[in-house]
Amino acid sequence: MKINRILIANRGEIAIRIMKTASRMKIETVAVRTSVEPDAMYLSSADKIYDNTEAESEIPVFLDIEKLIGIALETECNAVHPGYGFLAENAYFAQKCTDNKIIFIGPSPDALYKMGNKTIARRIALSGNIPMAMGSEGNIGNEEEAVTIAGKIGYPVIIKAASGGGGRGMRIVRKAEEMEKLFIIASKEAEKAFNDPSVFIEKYIENPKHIEFQILGDSRGNIIHLGERECSIQRKHQKLLEEAPSCALNEELRDEMGRTAVQMAKAVNYESAGTVEFLLDSDKNFYFMEMNTRIQVEHPVTEIITGIDLIEQQIRIANGEAIKFRQEDIKLNGWAIECRINAEDVQSGFAPDPGKIESLSLPSGPNIRIDTGIKAGSVIAANFDSMIAKLIISGNSRKDAVKNCKMALDKVWIKGTKTTLPFFRMLMRHPKFLNGDFTTTFIEKDLDQFFYNSEYEEMLAAWLATKLFIEENLEDNSINVDFENGKEMSPWLLNKRINQF
């Protein structure tokens, strides 16, 4: 069976991204129209639209397994692409597709299940001698046991109170000689604070970087990696900026981590595109975190430096084709950076700022790729995520890419909601970011301001406020405003007024 029509079980930019490649491969696509966003941009990329606006269901259609299978059968799709999020890593959905003779474009239900279960994933890593951020199996009885276990895990380790929280009863131990003393202190502190002296030990990874490897595997057992992505710029585990390659890796470390990632994928006979995530400490030790069994939001940076279309590979692999290149054919060229432009207010701690996009102008050029599912008039609804667009910038070197990114950021115009643009403008000027000197705690620890404004911007804003005030209130150089009990006016009416100047 060869894939000839794909049901896109997703929305937004990733739906468009998948349909773009499918169309180039002369494969038809079906998209689902929902009542939440019946005029969404992704619908115009589909060959066929399944109208689900009348459906009365508690759960969104993209999470409704029975419904999606039904739509696929009704529209005669012989494959489903789940995108990311929603059902992308749901083993039951993948199994249901197979049961109904529909190709699930992704890994096998077995691989989805094994990697989705953290305990099983850890066991696989453990049996393959893959380094992990280990912990003691349970509570530690006494200081001798603590020394033995910490020796196995490797220093530094952190002692944590079993009933604890908020940092109390926690001690970082860097050397075996310190263990006995600190164990007793931590245990006593735990007893005092929580009425329970039990503590356990975990590996302590100091200021780690988040480094992940892109994996491709086919049904013939070929598995290769396409290099790494650096995703340390994140907030509460939400990635904001990703780049490829990472300036923290050299050829040797890349080979070693890449081999480890491939080993991990081989353990579950991984098929399709996937990602193995690691933490990398300042001494360049790396630890397996988890495997993501889907196409990822940040996949474009890998596509740019390898020249490989990952969606195309997913489709070909799902079709039973073998991967056409070997590990030694993979060459990383240049540098790519992805900025996630989200509807968030960086001045209020990245709080979501849903709303209607009043106008939108995105730059284009040889170094610029934009993946978006939003157009002027679209609504960033509170039901879905806050992404507006991914700005993907390339350059010959990191320096070059940063320079291009800085220029492109000034050409993005979005009106209607606040966005993460001021954050990226700040980042492109931050010495630590420019030097590659940042870890996953960068946003929490290294920043005192989350945005950038040039010297005169506030003054110009003040000038504008004054101008508006004069237009509204001042006649004949005299003032007609009640400073305490004024009127309220719709911002859009106001915008219309200032347009008349």
Partner 1 sequence: MTNEKISIKKLYALSSENRRFCFSLPLKQTIRIGKRNYEVRLKNDEKFGTYILWKNRKYPVEIVRSRQNKYEILFNDIGYTFTIETPFSLQRMKVLGSKKGKVEKEMVKAPMPGKIIDVLVREGSNVLRGEPLVILEAMKMQNELQSPVNGQVLKVSAKSNSNVMKDDVLVEIKVE
Which is nearest to 186 in space by CA: 204, 198, 174, 203?
198
- Nearer residue to partner 1 within complex by CB, 1 or 494: 494
- Residue 259 appears among annotated catalytic residues: no
Q: Which of 382, 431, 435, 448 is the binder for partner 1 (CB under 8 A)? A: 382
If one asks whether residue 365 binds partner 1 (CB under 8 A), the answer comes out as: no
If one asks whether residue 498 binds partner 1 (CB under 8 A), the answer comes out as: yes
If one asks whether residue 359 binds partner 1 (CB under 8 A), the answer comes out as: yes
Q: What angle do CA 327, 328, 334 make, to 5 degrees?
A: 95
If one asks whether residue 451 binds partner 1 (CB under 8 A), the answer comes out as: yes
Closest CB 127 distance from partner 1, rounded Å: 35
Closest CB 15 distance from partner 1, rounded Å: 18
Which is nearest to 186 in space by CA: 159, 157, 149, 153?
159
Residues 335-354 that bind partner 1 (CB under 8 A): 345, 347-348, 351-354
Closest CB 85 distance from partner 1, rounded Å: 9
**What is the spatial distance between Cα 451 and Cα 15, in angstroms, rounded to a whole number?**
31
Closest CB 425 distance from partner 1, rounded Å: 8
If one asks whether residue 489 binds partner 1 (CB under 8 A), the answer comes out as: yes
If one asks whether residue 73 binds partner 1 (CB under 8 A), the answer comes out as: no
**What is the spatial distance between Cα 501 and Cα 498, in angstroms, rounded to a whole number?**
6
- Nearer residue to partner 1 within complex by CB, 281 or 345: 345
Closest CB 449 distance from partner 1, rounded Å: 11
Residue 71, C-beta contacts closer than 8 angstroms, at least 6 positions apart = 7, 30, 32, 50, 52, 61, 77
- Nearer residue to partner 1 within complex by CB, 153 or 388: 388
Answer whether 314's CB lies under 8 Å from 296's CB. no
Radius of gyration (Cα) for the chain, nearest Å? 26
If one asks whether residue 437 binds partner 1 (CB under 8 A), the answer comes out as: no
- Nearer residue to partner 1 within complex by CB, 328 or 501: 501
If one asks whether residue 385 binds partner 1 (CB under 8 A), the answer comes out as: yes
If one asks whether residue 119 binds partner 1 (CB under 8 A), the answer comes out as: no
Which is nearest to 163 in space by CA: 190, 142, 143?
190
SS3 99: helix
Strand boundaries in 174-322, DSSP class E: 199-203, 209-217, 223-235, 238-244, 272-280, 286-292
Residues 235-254 that bind partner 1 (CB under 8 A): 236, 238
DSSP calls for 383-436: TS--EEEEEEEEESSHHHHHHHHHHHHTT-EEESS--SHHHHHHHTT-HHHHTT
If one asks whether residue 84 binds partner 1 (CB under 8 A), the answer comes out as: no
- Nearer residue to partner 1 within complex by CB, 266 or 406: 406
Tokens of 113: 């299940």
Q: Which residue has the tokens 């990398």?
A: 280
Tokens of 170: 């926690």
Catalytic residue among 11, 294, 369, 398: 294
Q: Give the strand pairing for 223-235 and 238-244.
A: antiparallel
- The residues annotated with a catalytic role in the active site are 294
Binding residues for partner 1 (CB under 8 A): 236, 238, 345, 347-348, 351-354, 358-359, 361, 382, 384-386, 410, 413-415, 418-419, 421-422, 451, 453, 456-470, 472-474, 477-489, 491, 494-495, 498-499, 501
